[in-house]
Structure 1
Amino acid sequence: MDNTIILKKINFSFRKIIPWIIPIVIILFWQLIVSVGWVSATILPSPWDVLKDGAELTVSGELPKNMGISLYRATVGFVIGGSIGFVLGFINGLSKIARLAFDSTVQMLRNIPHLALIPLVILLMGIGEPAKIFLVAIGCMFPIYINTYHGIISVDQKIIEMGHAYGLKQSAMIRKIVFPAALPTILMGFRYALGVMWTTLIVAETISSSSGIGYMATNAEQFMDMKTIILCILIYALLGKLSDYIAKNFEIIFLEWRG
């Protein structure tokens, strides 16, 4: 019995390691080709040089400050846009009247690339925090809206009929049947919106900004500082990985009943 538990723990640990194997191999290969001189360190700094640059920027306080600002913009924009998208999707999914009134307009707006709004947003809102948060909110709103809406209208009618047969009231029907059935699709939209969040923020911060990770990358570009540019790219990649990890854990927690 003890051996079975040990084997299960080993298998669990191995499953945790597998997703990191390819990134580690890439980093080791990257370090190798720079160290042996196959690629010039001026063009592509080694991972060790990038790491040292990150440590220096951390000690100076520049990296924590700009990372905190980027996280603030991303979080606030996601909460605002995600909340609006969820509420609109939920209402339009439940109500045919609301669907007729709002869905066509929302779908029309959804097909406008939100990054194409950057010139208009700058003219109307300037280059301050509201403009960046607004762009992130717009980017996050539509994935959550469309997945929430689709999840609700796709609920199996047989399950709803069963709820009626048991005499469930509308509020109980929504709470016990409709929302749980739509939740997998809603969480899929949540996960997709997290990716859009970082993509939008990167563009917003590199076009017009005086702070944030994107600003650090743009500023480093002017001085041909490849170490900081690559560092910023890696930070965005790690933040995206962290966001995806959080989304996966939400799915595990909230969809545990499916097991």
Structure 2
Amino acid sequence: MFKTCFGRDLIHDLKSELGGKFEDVILALMMKPDEFDAYELKRAMKGLGTDEDAMIEILCTRSNKEIQAIVSAYKTLYKSALEKDIQGDTSGHFKRLMISMSAGGRQEGQAVDMNKAQQDAQRLHQAGEKRWGTDESAFNMIMASQSYEQLKAVFEAYQRLSGKDIEKSIKSEMSGNLELGMLAIVKCVKNRSGYFAEKLYKSMKGAGTDDRGLIRVVVTRCEVDMVQIKQQFQAMYGQSLESFIKGDTSGDYKKVLLALVSQGGY
């Protein structure tokens, strides 16, 4: 509509008028959710080095429908298949997990099967603590294919079976980006809002700010579940998200982040 009315490209005008982190967050808001996720995935794999944290956050937390939209947007924007780029930029069991996540084939909307949960808990136990070395493929198969509701039942059964929380088992059996990816799935199953609250806290804590991570979480969650994320942030860290943002950012960048956080979601 902007182009229709004024014969000018809005994105081009914004880039010429803005700068820095304020420009980054405004341009992020100009994209549809699937386009922004695709953009962040491309950025994560572009050039030297890979931003595995961004890949994990996006691919391990989105629904099947969202993943499928991201895959389509990625193809449209970059004339390349997301899976192909993941294959070329990652390796080992982490690559397998990311490809599994990008398939968008997780079971959804099915009733929880307690017998299957018990069987899968046993399978995870056998693949991890009960053997020398870890069978990562067994973890990948269960974590990537089962619904969040089913996985919650699996984790509860695992706790009863082994006397150990699944997070602790993953930390002791895995390392690196595979561990972080598996833990992201577990945290989303247990408390999705808590997972994003932790991401926001870590993006601002200590010296320096992970502005890309901060912008990504605020932009992608502001109209989804920000109310719950703010509640979790307060409960987990004893401080409001707004006050944390005020203390860690400045200027127009701070203003737009606070405006987005106040939206809350649907």
The TM-score normalised by the length of structure 1 is 0.24
Greater helix proportion: 1
